[in-house]
Structure 1
């Protein structure tokens, strides 16, 4: 097995899980319009022994012990899968630039996982195909959240808006995008555990809610293919998680009302929260909502708000 580079770097963007109406089934990648890199970066380099270094704005929020870091766990998992194919992975130095807040609802753990697996796979001449990698990413993500799901790892890896199939191949389908939609996201600065946010949900869903969920998801996908923005926006209401999770998000109702008054077509919780998102069809409204959220929804100095688009491509890889 040959390698073409001594160092490989992968950047994986932030993502919105659920997209309100698609609990565990829909995800969307995010790219700020101002050029901010909203996501995590992992660099893999040849070395004499395994190691992990961590930098970035939110590095101090991670466990100090390297073995507890999901990026090093990704290396161990990748090595196991390679050994199962009769291939050897030598010692490596991994470097994580942690730029997404933990427990933010922006796919923070998924971004690190996607960047790690993408960098490792590319570093060794891509031994695993797209679906195999996604299955590996989802399994590692499940170790953190308590259940295997792909609505963050898939869009972060592939870009665009993704629909999870529930089968091993293809793991995810890419959906058409509304080209004129802007996605304003705001992280409050607080933290919500994904596993805790799942625990707050009921174990069973009422039949009427299940019917609404199925109707909304089906109509939404149809509307995307028809490029019917008005119909798609009408479907973006969460009947599964938001009624229960909004109590974990101080100021959510006020933020939703303010966004709607400023022209938001839809408003919801990104993943498990506390990040919220607003969909608009023009940049001016998006910026107005972002400013209101910065002033009223952000709770401390770690919070932020960005006006984003959904990029058509996810992972970015560079070798040297």
Structure 2
């Protein structure tokens, strides 16, 4: 337990994440750590202050609403303060600075990163009054305010790190799966935005029994392959039968990008979350670098786009 009186300032970082990981709609998520050591995620700095205030900076700050009270970080402070109040405790008045480094509507867990950085930072700043599971529940609630439904495939890996499988049958919401240490994850954001609500509205309201069975089989086989470290089988079932057939229409050059990646050493290729970010999995760095170059030239649509070669971030959120 930290001594709250010693805390004058703290900065929390929360990594970007891949939701769904193709075959695990709303059930699988992976945290990302770029190979070059850069931070792909949002940061929130918390400082003692006479009254609450919030400022925003960073590459994508201009994409956020001008009114701080509409910012999800402000809502995080309100929710955290309310939870403390239920325990008869009072939150400190602070100034919070959000460094918005992830693009909104990118499919990289942008809102989740802000939420996780804010709540993880607030929890550490106040001496960790809430457990990991309590804080994760609160993160899911706040994510649901943005996406329209509570799901953890971004907030969970962003918070705890690694490759996570969502669980609704116990207090342990996120189950950590073994990862393939030799896998490289190429992520490429095209520069356009796709809202989670729009990406969900394009999906069918009902799914055929055959697709449901295929989805369940793929997820089960993938989990088994992770534990047995059978990368060939794991990669073979990384195919989205539920969302990708519909969502890919929102992503220019998706089919061409998939074809190039698979023909040039990619083990799997898919949409990160709701898109437009795509990802390719490779087991050789040279293949990853080649696919990244092609995506930079063909998939990126404007100056907002970018790409990274990543490994799985096993640490998740951190504070300094």
Give me the TM-score of the superposition, normalised by structure 2: 0.98
Distance in 2 between residues matched to 1:142 and 1:47, nearest whole Å? 29
Structure 2 residue aligned with 1:88: 90
Structure 1 residue aligned with 2:223: 221
Is 1:41–1:115's contact at 8 Å kept on the other side of the alignment?
yes
Does residue 205 (structure 1) correspond to residue 207 (structure 2)? The answer is: yes
Structure 1 residue aligned with 2:29: 27
Is 1:3–1:123's contact at 8 Å kept on the other side of the alignment?
no
Q: Deviations over 1:150-208 (max 9, x none)?
A: 00000011110000002451011000000100000000000000111111111111100
Distance in 1 between residues matched to 2:110 and 2:163, nearest whole Å? 17
Q: Deviations over 1:69-101 (max 9, x none)?
A: 000110000000000010001211000000000
| Higher mean C-alpha deviation, range 268-277 or range 196-205 | 196-205
Equivalent residue in structure 1 for 2:318, among 308, 316, 320: 316
Equivalent residue in structure 1 for 2:253, among 251, 254, 257: 251
Structure 1 residue aligned with 2:149: 147
Does residue 265 (structure 1) correspond to residue 267 (structure 2)? The answer is: yes
Structure 1 residue aligned with 2:238: 236
Instruction: Name stretches of at least 5 consecutive residues in structure 1 with no aligned partner.
Output: none
Deviation at 1:264, TM superposition (A): 0.4
Report the 3-state secondary structure (helix = DSSP H, G, I; strand = E; otherwise coil) of the residue aligned with 1:305: strand
Q: Deviations over 1:26-60 (max 9, x none)?
A: 00000110112100000111101110010000000
Structure 2 residue aligned with 1:47: 49
Equivalent residue in structure 2 for 1:101, among 88, 100, 103: 103
| Higher mean C-alpha deviation, range 78-87 or range 194-203 | 194-203
Q: Which runs of 4+ in 1 moved over 4 A?
A: none
Q: How does 1:50-89 map to 2 (within 5 A)?
A: 50-89=52-91
Distance in 2 between residues matched to 1:132 and 1:120, nearest whole Å? 13
Structure 1 residue aligned with 2:19: 17
Q: CA RMSD in A?
A: 0.9
Structure 1 residue aligned with 2:131: 129
Is 1:135–1:168's contact at 8 Å kept on the other side of the alignment?
no
Distance in 2 between residues matched to 1:113 and 1:167, nearest whole Å? 24
Give me the TM-score of the superposition, normalised by structure 1: 0.98
Q: Deviations over 1:213-238 (max 9, x none)?
A: 00000000000000000000011000
Distance in 2 between residues matched to 1:262 and 1:36, nearest whole Å? 26
Distance in 1 between residues matched to 2:133 and 2:212, nearest whole Å? 29
Distance in 2 between residues matched to 1:13 and 1:4, nearest whole Å? 26
Q: How does 1:101-120 map to 2 (within 5 A)?
A: 101-120=103-122
Is 1:18–1:24's contact at 8 Å kept on the other side of the alignment?
yes
| Higher mean C-alpha deviation, range 199-208 or range 96-105 | 199-208
Is 2:4–2:125's contact at 8 Å kept on the other side of the alignment?
no
Report the 3-state secondary structure (helix = DSSP H, G, I; strand = E; otherwise coil) of the residue aligned with 2:193: coil
Q: Deviations over 1:11-40 (max 9, x none)?
A: 000000000000000000001101121000
Deviation at 1:275, TM superposition (A): 0.1
Q: How does 1:147-226 map to 2 (within 5 A)?
A: 147-167=149-169, 169-226=171-228
The number of residue pairs the alignment matches comes to 318
